[in-house]
Chain A
Amino acid sequence: MPRIVFAYLIRRLIGAVIMLLIVSVVVFGIFFGIPKLVGQTNDQLAASFVGKAPTAEAIAQTKHRLNLDKPIWVQYGKWIQGVVAGQDFNNGPSKEHCSAPCFGYSFKNNQAVLPQLEDRAPATLSLAAGAAIIWLLSGVATGILSALKRGSIWDRAAMVIALAGVSLPIYFTGLLSMQIFSYNLDVLPGGGSYVPFSQNPGTWFQSLILPWITLAFLYAATYARLTRAGMLETLGEDYIRTARAKGLAERAVIAKHALRSTLTPILTVFGMDLGLLLGGAVLTEHTFGIPGLGQLSIDGIVGNDLPVVLGVTLVAALFIVVANLIVDLLYAVIDPRVRLG
């Protein structure tokens, strides 16, 4: 068995590397291809890294500095070369070495991409993980209660709130929650108050309470609905009737027999959601001024900063791949009918 699992992991790993390569090619293609389709030239791209009213000379120099004067496959080759062997970047008076794996050097920020990703990831991780715990617990609990008290006032109220949760945009709930709890009541810190855990765990926690709840609200709704539907379906299964026929107490029937089956498909959704979110909770980060990967990706996209866009996309893809792998492994643990392979 361990050998099977090992071989499986190796296979998945190779698949992941291939997928990340494809993602990098696609991002490169989109970055250079789409603007070309609408008639943008490399000169105009370079002009976005020069000040106002750029001269032709400045554009030429910038194009050369950023390798935008080379064909796209040469640029891609250089990028791959950097990943494998590292690369040097010219600051002006000196060169900076970016050692392998070097995921490029930002066009705008004058920093290597990887350290930026490492710098931003903890914020996104803190936000996503905390929110995930909240939404999973509250969403699943609400869903179970709703299913068990189906048709009751509680059920209806919970489902209305759930509908609100999925319909209201983060920037609305986020700004509203800050207006109330930060600016009117002054009980929780408002926007821009995030500090890293390593700097001050207390402030870190406080500053994340509203973002966590706001983000979790959006997802909890979905999970409540999923859980409710799944629980209702599971409760109709024959093996639940069997469990009851054994004389099991209702609580044991729910907790041991129904819940496990209900949660299994939710796990898949959860893995995807968390994986996606770890690539950057764009709106929440923006609304609360949390410097995470999502903010970095917006900056990258708005600023035509290909290496940053590429880096964030790859991180997001990696998180999704890893989340999927973990879900698949967990699935095999939970459901004995599933075989890895």
Chain B
Amino acid sequence: MSDAKRPAETLNGGPAEVNAGTAPSSSFLELRDLKIHFPTDDGLVKSVDGLSFKLERGKTLGIVGESGSGKSVTSLGILGLHNRRNAKVSGEIWLDGTELVSASEEQVRRLRGRNMAMIFQDPLSAMHPFYTVGAQIIEAYRVHNDVSKAVARKHAIDMLGRVGIPKPDKRVDDYPHQFSGGMRQRAMIAMALSCDPELLIADEPTTALDVTVQAQILDLIRDLQQEFNSAIIMITHDLGVTAELSDDVLVMYGGRCIERGTANEVFHEPEHPYTWGLLGSMPRLDRHRSERLQPIPGSPPSLINLPQGCAFNPRCPYSDQTGGLSTSERPELRETAAGHLVACHLHADKRRQIFADEIRPKL
């Protein structure tokens, strides 16, 4: 593939120093204190409120969290798909040396689909019902590649074949409604990958699919990642998917990151009570049937009025063990081990002890 290097002008041709005083990121993708706020009649909705992370080529970052925790808003924010008139975006998003928050809409648009692409959940509604699958892939390809329709069509058939759609030369002229759910998701992936993006964001790519198909799709994404050496952000509330695919995992709650680490760390040595809750509510094949899933009590917080102190404190069974800090002070994201960050007022030893004594046996 010709993907490895982009023409330099695309990535580096933007305004030389938009964020004066801030050093350009050396990572492929780096978010620095990203905030995405929506002013509404009821108040300011802080959907994402200070998110930072790095992601390198060929790596996968899993973002997990409940609905409304800010996962999808973050991914749309990276792609620049928020309407700048009704979303207030601040902070920095560095993609391969270009800062996107301060870039022009046109600049971001040119990166979209080509350098960064997205696989949306629910491909039935995410694909235009009036255009054939082929036409939609061709369109995606031709936006960024000045080729004839015939060439683009060949590419589309090629892509459909690559994502495992049988008889792609025939199915290319089918409409989305003529595809099955899994096939549609594959087509969606083919469309997202049509320009060999370096960054691929997959938003709940398997939620609507049954388990067999789900596994196939995940395999496909993994294979494609290896082929294209793309960086992937995998957004899901399904920890199983994350565990299977991710190198790193970021747990979001109330628009902020509350735990971040390698997949191994987050799944095997989680330190945030919310992460424990997530793990406890995850169905596992190796679990005994008699054991019941433990849903996290309470409901996600309002993004307009986050609880005082730790946003999780009203739902946290251990908030009384922090000497009142949980309800008064917001916990900083602190390194608990190398590369493993947690935002919790519980003492690190205490956390590990609770996990070992109370949580792990139930998982």
Cα distance A241–B83 in the bound complex, in angstroms: 11
State whether A247 and B109 are in contact (beta carbons under 8 Å apart), knowing that A242-B120, A337-B177 are contacts in the complex: yes
Residue B46 lies at the interface, judged by CB distance under 8 Å to chain A:
no
Q: A238-B125, A246-B140, A248-B143 are in contact. Are A334 and B109 (CB under 8 A)?
A: no
Whole-angstrom distance between the Cβ of A234 and the nearest chain B Cβ: 10
Beta-carbon contact of A245 and B113 below 8 Å:
yes
Q: Taking A248-B139, A336-B175, A336-B177 as contacts, is the C-beta distance between A239 and B125 under 8 angstroms?
A: yes
Q: Is the CB of A244 within 8 A of B112?
A: yes
**B89: shortest Cβ distance to chain A, in Å?**
15
**Shortest CB–CB separation between residue A253 and chain B, in angstroms?**
10
Contact residues in A for B81 (Cβ distance below 8 Å): 241, 244-245
Q: Is the CB of A247 within 8 A of B177?
A: no
**A261 at interface, CB cutoff 8 A:** yes
- Chain B's nearest CB lies how many Å from the CB of A265? 13
CB <8 Å contact, A245 and B122:
no
Chain A nearest CB, measured from B70 CB (Å): 17
Interface centre among A238, A245, A256, A257 (most CB of B within 10 A): A245
* B135 CB, min distance to chain A CBs, angstroms: 10
| A237 in contact (CB, < 8 A) | yes
A43 at the interface (CB under 8 A from B): no
| A247 in contact with B120 (CB, 8 Å) | no
Candidate in B111, B113, B191 with the most chain A CB atoms within 10 angstroms: B113
Nearest opposing residue in chain A for B76, CB measure: A241
Return the contact of A246 from the options B76, B112, B122 (Cβ within 8 A). Answer: B112
Q: Is B129 an interface position by the 8 A CB rule?
A: yes
Give 28 A-B contacts (CB < 8 Å), ordered by A residue.
Answer: A237-B125, A238-B122, A239-B125, A239-B127, A241-B120, A241-B126, A242-B126, A244-B112, A245-B79, A245-B118, A245-B120, A246-B112, A246-B117, A246-B191, A247-B110, A247-B111, A247-B143, A247-B144, A248-B139, A260-B130, A261-B129, A261-B130, A334-B130, A335-B129, A336-B129, A336-B132, A336-B177, A337-B129
Excluding A242-B127, A246-B112, A336-B177, 12 further A-B contacts by CB distance (< 8 Å) are A239-B125, A241-B126, A242-B126, A242-B128, A246-B139, A246-B140, A247-B109, A247-B110, A247-B113, A247-B114, A336-B130, A337-B129
Binding site for B on A (CB under 8 A): 237-239, 241-249, 256-257, 260-261, 334-337
In order of increasing CB-CB distance, the 7 nearest A-B pairs are A247-B113, A247-B112, A238-B125, A246-B113, A246-B140, A239-B128, A238-B126
